[in-house]
Structure formats: C-alpha cells, structure tokens
Amino acid sequence: KAGVTQTPRYLIKTRGQQVTLSCSPISGHRSVSWYQQTPGQGLQFLFEYFSETQRNKGNFPGRFSGRQFSNSRSEMNVSTLELGDSALYLCASSFWPFGDEQFFGPGTRLTVL
C-alpha cells in the first residue's frame, strides 16, 4: 500500500500570501489529521477530519482552515501568511479516528519570507 503523500514537499511564500497544502491518505483510511511542527512550539495539532467532517480544531487563528473531500483527501489553507507560520506541516491518516494508529506523511516544509 502506498503511504501518506503530501504535496508540495517544499514551499516558499512571502508574508501576506496564502497557501494550500494537500494530503492524500493511505487507501481505505477515512481520518486525516494535520499537525504543525516548529522548533519552538514542537508538534501542535491543527485539525482532525473524518468522513468529510471536522471533528476537532486546534488552537490556531482563523487564518488556518481545512477540508476533507469525499475520497478522504484533505487540504489545509493558510491565508495572510506570517513569518511565524514557517514550519513543517505534517498530515497523518488512520482508518478510524478513535485512537487508531496514525501514519504520517513526509510533511510540507513551508518557509515564509
């Protein structure tokens, strides 16, 4: 089975721009979660989606949004980028959201200049 894929792998943007990151889960997995990893804050939860519904959202401003499609693929969008949004964005998928193993993608490295 193919693993979790994330596109793009690297992204450079300037302040004020917006960005969309994509995540394709493992085939058959219906739950997708997003995490932000930075040296200062560590790994922080962004969203969890299951069957196209957002089940939970982390403590991030409204500039961070996401969605899940009927094929379980997910996207997250960050508008009005700030320097502090520079991070590794990790997507994880699982078959079931309730404590099932989450398998992570390789991440998208976002740099905001």
Partner 1 sequence: AQTVTQSQPEMSVQEAETVTLSCTYDTSESDYYLFWYKQPPSRQMILVIRQEAYKQQNATENRFSVNFQKAAKSFSLKISDSQLGDAAMYFCAYYTGTASKLTFGTGTRLQVTL
Q: Summarize as ranges the residues that interact with partner 1 (CB under 8 A).
A: 33, 35, 37, 42-43, 45, 48, 55-56, 58, 88, 90, 92, 97-99, 101-104, 106-107
Beta bridge partners of 20: 77
Write down the least CB distance from residue 51 to partner 1, Å.
13
Write down the least CB distance from residue 74 to partner 1, Å.
15
Q: Residue 92: is it exposed, middle or buried by C-beta count within 10 angstroms (0-12/13-18/19+)?
A: buried
Write down the least CB distance from residue 49 to partner 1, Å.
10
User: Given the complex with partner 1, which of 10 and 70 has the nearer CB atom?
Assistant: 10
User: Given the complex with partner 1, which of 1 and 98 has the nearer CB atom?
Assistant: 98
Neighbours of 5 (CB within 10 A): 16
User: Given the complex with partner 1, which of 31 and 112 has the nearer CB atom?
Assistant: 31
- Specify the DSSP class assigned to residue 12: E
49 neighbors 74 (Cβ within 8 angstroms): yes
